[in-house]
A and B are shown apart, each in its own frame.
Chain A
Amino acid sequence: MPRRTDIRKIIVIGSGPIVIGQACEFDYSGTQACTVLRREGFEVCLVNPNPATIMTDPGFADRTYIEPLTPASVLQILEREQPDALLPTLGGQTGLNVSVALAESGDLGRLGVKMLGASLEAIHKAEDRSGFQRAMVEAGLDVPRSGIARSVEEAVSLGTALGFPVIVRPSFTLGGGGSGFADDRAELADVAARSLAASPVNEVLIEESIAGWKEFELEVMRDGADNAVIVCSIENLDPMGVHTGDSITVAPQQTLSDREYQRMRDTAIEVLRVIGVETGGSNVQFAVDPSTGRQVLIEMNPRVSRSSALASKATGFPIAKIAALVAVGYRLDEISNDITGETPAAFEPTLDYVVVKIPRFAFEKFPAADTALGSTMRSVGEVMAIGSTLKEALGKAWRGLERPAADRTWAGADLASLSALGDPSLADVARPSEHRLHLVATLLATGETIDDVAAISRIDPWFVDQIAQVVEGARELIGRPLEEIQTDELWLAKRLGLSDERIGQLTDRSAGAVRARREALGVTPVFKTVDTCAGEFAARTPYYYSTYQGETETVDADRPRVVILGAGPNRIGQGIEFDYACVHAAFALEEAGFASVMINSNPETVSTDYDTASRLYFESLAAEDVLAVCRAERPVGVIAQLGGQTPLELARTLRDEGVPILGTPPEAIDLAEDRGRFAAFLRELEIPAPPHGEARTMSKARDIAARIGYPVVVRPSYVLGGRAMEIVYDDEELERFVGMAAEASPEHPVLIDRFLEGAIEVDVDAVCDGEGDVFIGAVMEHIEEAGVHSGDSSCQIPPATLSDDELDLIEDITSRIARRLGVVGLLNLQLAVKDERIWVLEANPRASRTVPFVGKVIGVSLARVATFVLVGRTIADIRADGIVPADRYHYRHLPSTSVKAAVLPFGRFPGVDTILGPEMRSTGEVMGIDVDSGMALAKAMLAAGHALPTAGTVFVSVANRDKRSIVFPAKRLADLGFRILATRGTAGVLQRAGIPVAMVAKVSEDADNVAGLIRAGAVDLVINTPFGRAPRTDGSLIRTAAAAAGVPCITTLPGAFAALRGIEALRGEPTTPMSIQEHHAAGREGPIQVRLTFDEAADVAGASA
């Protein structure tokens, strides 16, 4: 049964911004799908507002709409494109939900658009928990006892009937959003309320809790002829009760016999049939009672999921690609297995290695949040590692997490290194936390038995025993001089997954010393191939992992090799944007005639797809692993500037080990990173920077603060995402934050800068070549003032208010810094503009978070340009090839406006204040683009999940310094017919300005107060600028209420003005969405209103060059 002929044009629905529970894996799947569908000759349109994705690059679809993923906005695109079919199953839960809405509204039917993969009915059966439970029971499949509730009352009575504890599970959600356990009626009432709100269909499942059982997942692939295969089995090391996304997981499953496993396999395939998933990948989750073997179904997701990305990387079976092919009619036996080239995709991969995934959390960024792990997913990223045994993979995955030094190693043989945990007791492992490995290891080290630890942690004894073996291995080495440790002991230690750093701790030496000794004794890893078939057939794809056993399998590349260091696990501050840059480097290297060698440990990404780079090493980015690859590959150079901070910090080590680093030399990197030396450097160039000082002691800190004057910004050096960074208004606050900052990176001093209050912040992304020629990608003007982390603030291109003179000056500063630093490749500059002056906040000689955004806006991938520069080309000849626009001011002259807005995870951390600050907390970003700048803003907010109201009630409460400036926007809103609510102070000011305003009580003043109104849904927009940052102030209560109720909440004045522009645009004429390809074409047409003539431009250029 070959490809369908009734379809010509397919629209693919993306997954939107990176949020907890939905990350890069959907860029990976979308990219695969678009690529293969186009290869099959289909015309492909894509909708996804996430600019940081590879899939939204103009080359991956015929027309790419960087537009909000709301039914209304997608409908506009459908009307315009008139596609034959829509692919709903590759855009995560978001894509699925939008598609469902459009199917239910009848629009798909009206427009004759077919849904591929899963029918509306199938999606309903799978996604609404009631439908699923019913279908399973009818099919005679076992599920936990449960009932459906549509109100808190129903929920409570159900729970009482079932018997506590129960779990509440909302329908149509992802990452366990809104779910939770309840031990009694009262608790059930809150959880149910939250959960009902979280479910788009206001439906929750109340279910008997089987927390503590074993949890498994199967990834199933089915074609239109009802051929079904299991691509991968995944076993959770953590028991039921911890969301799979937050669990340490292992592939293949380890503790079920074939008899039990085959029963699970039969059920999984039966589930797909019962649900009616005609084609494609699905994920089926099971729980197993460890004492009886009873197997029950937890859920199924009728779509590509986070686990399917993991499964694809773990097995070499490209689920998304195959899902797309079967969706358009192919049968599994008509599709070939790329890895072997000779066998069909109709088979079940078999693994001769073990894969471990460990989630990466970011609790340090949300101090107020509860850190116990539960049914709601809160990890922000994950690492995957492949090893010959579970122990090897576990060790590698752990070092891939890039944890703070304190818990970077976990084999708890010496308690000293675990001081962080105090001395734990058995009871501590009863409560799952991100420290469970440490806890288990430490308890075993202190003599608890495997059975006791297993019984209390509910981690299967087989896993506990594996950890015990590592602990025993570590104990063999503890306290011994490194030189005395014999070769075979070192082999053993490495096979147990002990990192050089860990062996160093045990023998009281540095990781470097251990590495040197190892290499001297020839204890180095070999590389084996991921081949889907455990060696039964020869593999053609160079997809490797390291292991400390046996013979190596790497084959030499025919071309000179360049290694690209990836970004490792997603975390706040270092996410998909960096993967985007690495992927572009791989493509560009191929163009330039090199073999690209990718090293990365993040299974969600496009970079770890086996056909992105010419060679893939699925390895952690720890020095020992990266060096091992470099020793094996002998590259002509390593690219360390695209993967964010992680590779940047490896640059010096690599160079010292004789590995050539391409582009900006490590010295220059250090200079830029060391804020003290960088300040001096700026002074030399006579470029203003905020008054600044460095302190290692508290008293020194106080002196500096006194000298430069409050408010000041305190931060540690060498951090990304503004970690532990604070704005401090007096000595007492200073005490606190200097402490925190020192903790975040003890080896470095604490930096204190004058805080430029009310300054406009600006980002610049540029590429500098070996001859000092600089290409300015774009200057971005932030919407929020300096003080809100660049990663959390919104910004726009072309800049909204900066004059050409200011822009020229900014470009000139950028060029001078680039040249003097000796930057070769990318440079990101952050500046503040205040009272006619321009201050440099920091320079990052690497790819920045905004590189993909700029790329989407100007239609040029900076990462690509940078890669060409890194392999020796000049900007001039790149420009001559037309890759870089001829107009040096291209970004200023664009006919449409693009706005980047951040997406914050506050919904997942109830009770955490939502005000923005210098510490970055966003997980992702969206882009709004439109010829009308107000509309671009509105789209960005809509895409970020904060639909601006066009009518209704606005609540205003601002800090005194903002009271005067709020009058205008408030007046305008009132004129537009909004009802204005305000707290006493603000209300007074507004009344005096003659604006009709109703006064509401502050939370502290009265029981029925504004927070109550917000919860009751009586408020459509909140404008609240912070006074002071204390936790339980009115402000914070109002903001958290807004976050909980999902009411858009604007916390800065410029944000309020922007929102106003957005609202005005929304009330005006609707504009038709344009594809990014059309925007780029229009951009190349040149300026609509040129601000400078070309001669003038040339002059300025001359002047600044």
Chain B
Amino acid sequence: MTPGRRPTLLALEDGSVFRGTGFGASGEAFGEAVFNTSMAGYQEVLTDPSYAGQIVTMTSPHQGNYGMNADDAESGRIQVAGFVAREVARRASSWRASGTLSEALEGAGVPGIEGVDTRKLTLRIREQGSMRAAISSEDLDAVSLVERVRSSAGMAGADLAKTVSTASPFDAEIVTGPPSTDRGRIFRVAAYDFGLKRTILRLLADHGIRCTVYPAGTPPATIARGDFDGVFLSNGPGDPSATVYGIEAARELLGTIPIFGICLGHQLLGLALGGATYKMKFGHRGVNQPVKNLATGAVEITSHNHGFAVDPEGWAKDGDGHALTDHGRVELSHRSLNDGTLEGLRCLDVPASSVQYHPEAAPGPHDSRYLFDAFRSLMEAGT
């Protein structure tokens, strides 16, 4: 329709090929094809470092409707490898918009493809599992593109956290402003940046927590020396078992200081507790995921973005169903109501807890923000 439309291909490992129109940057991108079912929030998704190395499909048909704005970015840049949509708005409609989706991707050099049957693509991924894929406006030969996808590197064993982490430590205040004093005492926390989302920093600040953000590879000794009240293990991309330095750090710090982990941070904690992680068939990515808080019985509608999960089966259990780990008893605190996936851990003998999902949401519902207060209590108890 629009003049100068750019023919573009999307090819999957399983050989399926989708023809569409390019938007954003022209060129080529390889990555892991995943789908996200949230109906709004494309800007948060595009800028969430956890999506590094992935070609993300939104299942919701219209993308870019309200454009891009200054406040909703979860990091300093667009992180996805490529973006797939059924249809992209040609203009941005919002009092907050500072530009269009297409411009943003172009500026970031990230290719997008629209006019695709995103439902068909989603069902493929659901059936085959997450697959290697490529978007290209250069190689329009289906056979060759599929071949090149098959010879590209996958997510398993990939250590991506380092590639998205900060180069040097910084004080979160430059992002969030001064922490809130509403809750009284201000705690000092060291936040490991494996791909940290800005909203997490904002919420920590809102909960009276002053963060110093450290590069992914920072040795635990450095942190220990910093006399912090707590440690935060952030979300991030890639295979947790490949993030060895993260596991190490967690293992060393466990028991010495209150720890709270989200997503990748949760998986690292699980591994540090001697547990195992596994790659899920196609993961959970969306903002409508029901999680049961097993302590209260309450259902939280939560935001998910994970392709790996902690396997609780490896641990022996005591009479109350608590996992018996290298660091004592651990309560399996949250479960997915959709498929039973373990969604949270709470150590009973050391001050540490974590959730697989995203209490900070962005995008998604705010049902689980109480976890930031829980982190505070953990630190209050610890002092």
Residues of B bordering A, CB below 8 Å: 1, 35, 37-41, 43-44, 59-62, 65-66, 69, 71-72, 86-87, 89-91, 93-96, 117-120, 122-123, 126, 286-290, 292, 297-299, 301, 337-338, 361-366
Contacts and interface: CB of A to CB of B under 8 A. Distances in A.
B37 A389 contact: no
Nearest to B36: A534
Given A462-B89, A533-B37, A255 B126 contact: no
A612 interface: no
A879 B293 CA distance: 59
Given A255-B93, A258-B44, A292-B95, A348 B288 contact: yes
Given A352-B119, A389-B87, A255 B290 contact: no
13 contacts: A253-B40, A257-B43, A262-B364, A333-B299, A344-B290, A346-B290, A348-B288, A388-B117, A390-B62, A465-B89, A534-B59, A535-B35, A535-B119
Contact of B338 (A347, A354, A528): A347
A535 B288 contact: no
Contact of A252 (B39, B69, B90, B366): B39
A227 interface: yes
Contact of B96 (A257, A450, A550): A257
Contacts of B365: 262, 265, 348
Given A333-B337, A389-B87, A227 B364 contact: no
A262 B35 contact: no
A662 to B, nearest CB: 34
Contact of B120 (A253, A290, A342, A550): A550
A1031 B156 CA distance: 80
Interface in A1-46: none
Contacts of B95: 290-293
B338 A537 contact: yes
Which A-B residue pairs are the 9 nearest by beta carbons? A550-B117, A258-B41, A258-B363, A534-B59, A462-B93, A348-B288, A535-B122, A258-B40, A352-B59
A257 B119 contact: no
Contacts of B338: 342-344, 347, 537
**Main SS of chain A's interface residues?**
loop
B93 A469 contact: no
Contacts of B301: 229, 346-348
Contact of B62 (A354, A460, A533, A550): A354
Given A259-B72, A266-B366, A347-B290, A492 B1 contact: yes
A155 interface: no
Nearest to B43: A257
Contacts of A292: 95
B286 A350 contact: yes
Given A347-B338, A388-B117, 7 more contacts: A252-B39, A257-B94, A259-B363, A344-B338, A462-B66, A528-B119, A536-B126
B91 A462 contact: yes
B120 A257 contact: no
Nearest to B292: A333
B297 A225 contact: yes
Interface of A: 225-227, 229, 233, 252-259, 261-262, 265-266, 290-293, 331-333, 342-344, 346-354, 388-390, 450, 460-462, 465, 469, 472-473, 492, 528, 533-538, 549-551
B62 A257 contact: no
A352 B337 contact: no
B94 A350 contact: no
Contacts of B96: 257, 293
A536 B286 contact: yes
A227 B299 contact: yes
Contacts of B65: 254-255, 462
B61 A354 contact: yes
A547 to B, nearest CB: 9
A253 B91 CA distance: 17
Contacts of A351: 39, 60
A534 B1 contact: no
B126 A347 contact: no
Contacts of A253: 39-40
A460 B38 CA distance: 22
Given A347-B289, A528-B119, A549-B117, A460 B39 contact: no
A551 B120 contact: yes
A717 B71 CA distance: 62
B37 A350 contact: yes
B122 A388 contact: no
A256 B120 contact: no
Contact of B337 (A254, A257, A293, A347): A347
B343 to A, nearest CB: 14
Given A349-B288, A350-B60, A389-B87, A536 B337 contact: no
A331 B337 CA distance: 13
Given A348-B288, A349-B288, A352-B119, A256 B61 contact: no
Contact of A343 (B43, B286, B299, B337): B337
A293 to B, nearest CB: 6
Contacts of B62: 254, 354, 389-390
Nearest to A461: B93
A237 to B, nearest CB: 13
Contacts of B122: 352, 534-536
Contacts of B290: 333, 343-344, 346-347
A354 B39 CA distance: 11
A347 B288 contact: yes
Contact of B40 (A261, A290, A291, A450): A261
Contact of B119 (A348, A472, A550): A550
Given A261-B40, A265-B365, A293-B96, A350 B59 contact: yes
Contacts of B39: 233, 252-253, 350-351
B289 A257 contact: no
B61 A461 contact: no
Contacts of A348: 287-288, 301, 365
B40 A257 contact: yes
Contacts of B117: 388, 549-551
Contacts of A256: 40, 66
Contacts of A343: 290, 337-338
B226 to A, nearest CB: 33
Contacts of B37: 350, 352, 533-536
A535 B59 contact: yes
Given A344-B337, A534-B60, A389 B86 contact: yes
A349 to B, nearest CB: 7
B288 A388 contact: no
A388 B338 CA distance: 26
A16 B292 CA distance: 41
Most chain B C-beta atoms within 10 Å of own C-beta, residue among A261, A354, A534, A551: A534
A258 B362 contact: yes
B299 A257 contact: no
Contacts of A266: 366
B61 A388 contact: yes
A528 B301 CA distance: 27
Nearest to B39: A252
B61 A389 contact: yes
A352 B93 contact: no
A233 B365 CA distance: 14
Nearest to A535: B122
A266 B290 CA distance: 16
A234 to B, nearest CB: 12
Contact of A350 (B1, B43, B288, B297): B288
A951 B108 CA distance: 82
B64 to A, nearest CB: 10
A348 to B, nearest CB: 4
A549 B59 CA distance: 14
B288 A352 contact: no
Contacts of A390: 61-62
Nearest to B123: A535
Contacts of A331: 299
B87 to A, nearest CB: 5
Contacts of A534: 35, 37, 59-60, 119, 122, 286
